[in-house]
C-alpha cells in the first residue's frame, strides 16, 4: 500500500514536471505590442556583413556564407536598397522553381532507361539490339521533331507561366471561333527556340521539361510495335508523333488550347484538367501504340489458325522489374515536377503529389498481383510490374488534385483494369502488344483522366484558380455538379476520336512510304541482324523460330 502511494506520488510529480513548462508555454506573459518600424534603404545598406578578414579564414560551419553581402546591388555607391532586396527575393523564388523543374525534368529523362530495359526484357533475346536502339533513338528523333516544330505548336501560345517567371515570348495562339467562343488550336511561337524572342531563360526550362514528357509518349509506342517494326518506319512515325500529334493535343490541354478553356468558355468545371499527363502523355502514347500495333498485325506465332493466343515469353524478367523501379523513381519527377516550381502558387503541394504517386503505384502493383494470383494461381511478375506502372499512369493526371485515400483507390482500379485490358486486347481484339503498353498507358491513361472528374477533392490551390477559373478542381464525389466530369470525358473523346485518327492516318502514310512491317524472314531470324547489323547478345545461342 505504502509502495503504491509512493509510486502514485512520484508519477504525479513527474506529470506535473512535464506539464509545467507546457502550461507556461501555452500562456506567455503579456508583453506590450511592438510598434512596427518601416525598413529603409539605410537599414538594408547597413545590414551586418562578415569582414573580409573573417571570410579569408574560411567558413567551416557555413555561418558567414550567404549573407547581405551576396545580394546583387544595382548601385555600388548607394549600397543595397529595398529594391535590391525585393528583386533578390523574386530571383530566389524563380531560381528555386527553375532548379526544381530542371531536376524533375532530369528524372523524367532517366525514365527512358527504364522504358528501354522494360521493353527489351519483355521481348525475345533475338530482338534485344533492335528494341534497345528504338528506345535509345526515340530520345534523339523525338527531341529533334519537338525542337524544330513540336514545342512551338504545343507551347507557342501558352502565355504567362508564373512559376517560371512569366515566359512572355510564348504569346501567339492560333484561335478559331466555334459556338461563339474562342477555340485555341495551336501555338505559333518558339520554332527552333529562337523564333519570336523565345531565346529566353524561362522558355528554356519549360522546353526541357516538356520535351522529356513528349519523349515518354514516343517511347510508349515502341513497346507495342517491337519485334516486327521496320526501323525506318519507326524513325518517321516517331518524328510525326513528336512534331504534330503529341504537341497538338498537349496544346489543347496545357498550352492554352480549347480543352483547357472549357471552364471559362462553357462553364465545365475548371476545364479539361490533366495535372501531369495521364491523357496528354500516356493516353496519346497508348492510343498511338494501338493504331500502330493494329496496322502491324501480330508477331508470327502469336496466334494459331483457330485464333488461340500463345504467350511469347519475356527473355529477362530481372531487367523488366528493374526497369519498373527506374520508372517509378522517374515518376517523382513526372508528377511533383508538374507544379513547375517549389515556391509560390500552391507549389508546396509537391509533397502531397509525391505521396499520391507512390501510393497509387503501390496499390496498382498489389491489385495486379492479387488479380493474377486469384485468376491464374500465380503472382505473375510482368503483370505485377505492369500493375505498378498502371497505378502510376492513372495517378499522373489526378495526382495534384486528390487525397491519399483516393490515390490508393485510383491505383487499385488501375491494377485490375490493366489485367482485364491486357486480356481484352490480346484475346478479343487479337492485337499483339508485347509489353502491354496499350493497356498500361492507353486504358489507364483514360482512367486517370476520368478519375479527376470523380475524385478531385477541391482542396488544391495553385494560385487560387486553374485554367483561368477561380477555385479548386472538384469532382463529382466532392460536390461538383458534373461539369468537371464532362470536361474530362471531352478529353477522352478527343483522345479516342481525334488523336487515334491522326495517329492512324500518319502511320498509314508511313506504311505507304516505307512499309511498317519487316519481312517474315527477318522476323523469324530476329531483327538484330537484318535491321541493326549486330546481335544484342552475340554469345547467346538464339533460336531461329519460337
489 interacts with another protein by CB under 8 A: yes
Query: For the window 374-413, what string marks contact with another protein as x by the rule CB under 8 A?
Result: ----------------------------------------
Instruction: Select from 35-43, 57-65, 158-166, 297-305 the region that touches another protein (CB under 8 A).
Output: 297-305
What is the rounded distance in angstroms from the CA atom of residue 488 to the CA atom of residue 474? 12
Residue from 501, 515, 538, 546 touching another protein (CB under 8 A): that is 501
Of 380 and 433, the one with the shorter C-beta distance to another protein is 433
Instruction: Select from 14-22, 38-46, 343-351, 476-484 the region that touches another protein (CB under 8 A).
Output: 476-484
176's enclosing H/E stretch is strand 173-178
Residue from 165, 286, 398, 483 touching another protein (CB under 8 A): that is 483
Residues in 178-237 that interact with another protein by CB under 8 A = 178-179
Residue from 50, 166, 168, 297 touching another protein (CB under 8 A): that is 297
Q: How far is the CB of 153 from another protein (least distance, A)?
A: 19
304 interacts with another protein by CB under 8 A: yes
Q: Are 187 and 173 in contact (CB under 8 A)?
A: yes
3-state secondary structure 178-243: ECCEEEEEEECCCHHHCHHHCCCHHHHHHHHHHHHHHHHHHHHHHHHHCCCECHHHHHHHHHHHHH
What is the rounded distance in angstroms from the CA atom of residue 433 to the CA atom of residue 441? 12
Q: Which of 209, 315, 190, 270 is nearest to 480 (CA)?
A: 270
The residue with cell 505498378 is: 388
92 interacts with another protein by CB under 8 A: no
Of 95 and 505, the one with the shorter C-beta distance to another protein is 505
Q: Are 157 and 187 in contact (CB under 8 A)?
A: yes
Residue from 505, 513, 534, 546 touching another protein (CB under 8 A): that is 505
- CA 124 to centroid of chain Cα atoms: 29
Residues in 251-270 that interact with another protein by CB under 8 A = 262, 266
512 interacts with another protein by CB under 8 A: no
- The set of cell numbers assigned to 290 is 494501338
Q: How far is the CB of 297 from another protein (least distance, A)?
A: 6
Residues in 417-436 that interact with another protein by CB under 8 A = 429-431
DSSP at 29: P
Of 352 and 444, the one with the shorter C-beta distance to another protein is 444
500 interacts with another protein by CB under 8 A: yes
Q: Which of 330, 221, 200 is nearest to 276 (CA)?
A: 330
Which segments of 35-171 does DSSP mark as H helices, in order? 41-45, 52-56, 82-122, 128-145, 151-155
Residue from 45, 235, 370, 496 touching another protein (CB under 8 A): that is 496
Q: Are 184 and 257 in contact (CB under 8 A)?
A: yes
303 interacts with another protein by CB under 8 A: yes
Of 77 and 305, the one with the shorter C-beta distance to another protein is 305
Query: For the window 305-344, what string marks contact with another protein as x by the rule CB under 8 A?
Result: x-x-------------------------------------
The residue with cell 512491317 is: 517
Residue from 492, 510, 532, 542 touching another protein (CB under 8 A): that is 492
Strand partners, 517: 229
Query: For the window 276-295, what string marks contact with another protein as x by the rule CB under 8 A?
Result: --------------x---xx
What is the rounded distance in angstroms from the CA atom of residue 252 to the CA atom of residue 258? 5
485 interacts with another protein by CB under 8 A: yes
Of 106 and 498, the one with the shorter C-beta distance to another protein is 498
Q: Are 319 and 251 in contact (CB under 8 A)?
A: no
What is the rounded distance in angstroms from the CA atom of residue 384 to the CA atom of residue 363? 10
Q: How far is the CB of 451 from another protein (least distance, A)?
A: 16
DSSP at 289: H
Of 102 and 175, the one with the shorter C-beta distance to another protein is 175
Instruction: Select from 361-369, 398-406, 501-509, 537-545 the region that touches another protein (CB under 8 A).
Output: 501-509
Burial 370-385 (b: 16+ CB within 10 A, else e): bbbeeeeeeebbbbbb
Phi (first) and psi of residue 275, to 5 degrees: -55, -55
What is the rounded distance in angstroms from the CA atom of residue 348 to the CA atom of residue 345? 8
What is the rounded distance in angstroms from the CA atom of residue 431 to the CA atom of residue 416? 20
161 interacts with another protein by CB under 8 A: no
| Site residues (vs another protein, CB under 8 A) | 178-179, 262, 266, 290, 294-295, 297-298, 300, 302-305, 307, 429-431, 481-483, 485-486, 489-490, 492-494, 496-498, 500-501, 504-505, 508, 520
Amino acid at each position: 500500500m505504502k509502495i503504491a502511494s509512493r509510486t502514485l506520488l512520484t508519477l504525479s510529480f513527474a506529470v506535473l514536471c512535464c506539464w509545467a513548462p507546457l502550461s507556461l508555454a501555452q500562456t506567455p506573459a503579456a508583453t506590450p505590442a511592438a510598434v512596427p518600424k518601416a525598413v529603409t534603404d539605410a537599414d538594408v545598406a547597413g545590414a551586418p556583413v562578415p569582414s573580409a578578414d573573417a571570410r579569408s579564414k574560411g567558413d567551416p560551419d557555413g555561418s558567414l556564407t550567404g549573407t547581405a553581402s551576396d545580394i546583387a546591388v544595382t548601385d555600388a555607391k548607394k549600397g543595397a536598397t529595398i529594391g535590391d532586396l525585393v528583386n533578390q527575393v523574386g530571383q530566389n523564388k524563380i531560381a528555386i522553381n527553375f532548379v526544381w523543374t530542371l531536376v524533375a525534368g532530369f528524372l523524367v529523362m532517366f525514365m527512358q532507361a527504364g522504358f528501354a530495359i522494360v521493353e527489351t526484357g519483355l521481348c525475345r533475346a533475338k530482338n534485344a539490339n533492335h528494341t534497345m536502339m528504338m528506345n535509345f533513338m526515340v530520345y534523339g528523333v523525338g527531341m529533334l521533331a519537338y525542337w524544330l516544330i513540336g514545342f512551338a505548336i504545343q507551347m507557342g501560345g501558352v502565355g504567362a507561366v508564373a512559376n517560371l517567371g512569366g515566359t512572355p515570348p510564348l504569346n501567339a495562339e492560333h484561335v478559331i471561333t466555334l459556338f461563339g467562343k474562342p477555340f485555341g488550336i495551336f501555338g505559333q511561337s518558339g520554332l527552333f527556340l529562337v523564333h519570336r524572342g523565345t531565346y529566353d531563360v524561362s522558355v528554356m526550362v519549360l522546353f526541357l521539361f516538356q520535351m522529356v514528357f513528349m519523349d515518354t509518349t514516343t517511347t510508349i509506342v515502341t513497346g507495342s510495335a517491337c519485334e516486327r517494326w521496320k526501323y525506318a518506319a519507326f524513325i518517321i512515325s516517331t518524328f510525326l508523333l513528336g512534331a504534330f500529334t503529341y504537341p497538338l493535343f498537349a496544346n489543347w490541354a496545357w498550352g492554352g488550347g480549347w480543352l483547357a478553356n472549357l471552364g471559362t468558355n462553357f462553364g465545365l468545371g475548371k476545364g479539361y484538367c490533366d495535372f501531369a499527363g495521364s491523357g496528354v502523355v500516356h493516353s496519346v502514347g497508348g492510343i498511338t501504340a494501338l493504331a500502330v500495333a493494329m496496322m502491324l498485325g501480330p508477331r508470327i506465332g502469336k496466334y494459331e489458325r483457330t485464333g488461340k493466343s500463345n504467350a511469347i515469353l519475356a527473355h529477362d524478367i530481372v531487367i523488366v522489374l528493374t526497369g519498373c523501379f527506374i520508372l517509378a523513381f522517374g515518376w517523382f519527377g513526372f508528377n511533383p515536377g508538374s507544379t513547375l516550381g517549389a515556391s509560390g502558387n500552391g507549389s508546396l503541394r509537391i509533397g502531397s503529389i509525391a505521396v499520391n504517386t507512390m501510393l497509387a503505384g503501390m496499390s496498382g502493383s498489389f491489385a495486379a498481383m492479387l488479380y493474377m494470383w486469384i485468376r491464374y494461381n500465380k503472382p505473375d511478375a510482368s503483370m505485377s510490374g505492369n500493375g505498378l506502372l498502371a497505378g502510376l499512369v492513372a495517378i499522373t493526371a489526378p495526382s495534384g488534385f486528390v487525397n491519399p485515400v483516393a490515390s490508393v483507390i485510383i491505383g487499385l482500379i488501375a491494377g485490375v483494369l490493366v489485367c482485364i485490358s491486357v486480356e481484352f486486347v490480346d484475346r478479343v481484339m487479337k492485337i499483339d502488344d508485347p509489353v502491354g503498353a496499350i493497356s498500361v498507358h492507353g486504358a489507364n491513361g483514360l482512367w486517370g483522366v476520368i478519375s479527376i472528374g470523380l475524385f478531385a477533392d477541391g482542396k488544391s490551390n495553385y494560385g487560387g484558380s486553374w485554367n483561368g477559373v477561380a477555385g479548386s478542381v472538384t469532382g463529382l464525389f466532392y460536390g461538383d455538379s458534373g461539369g468537371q466530369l464532362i470536361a474530362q470525358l471531352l478529353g477522352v473523346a478527343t483522345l479516342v476520336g481525334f488523336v487515334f485518327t491522326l495517329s492512324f492516318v500518319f502511320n498509314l502514310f508511313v506504311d505507304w512510304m516505307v512499309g511498317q512491317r519487316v519481312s517474315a524472314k527477318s522476323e523469324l531470324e530476329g531483327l538484330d541482324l537484318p535491321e541493326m547489323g549486330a546481335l544484342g547478345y552475340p554469345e547467346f545461342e538464339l533460336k531461329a523460330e519460337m
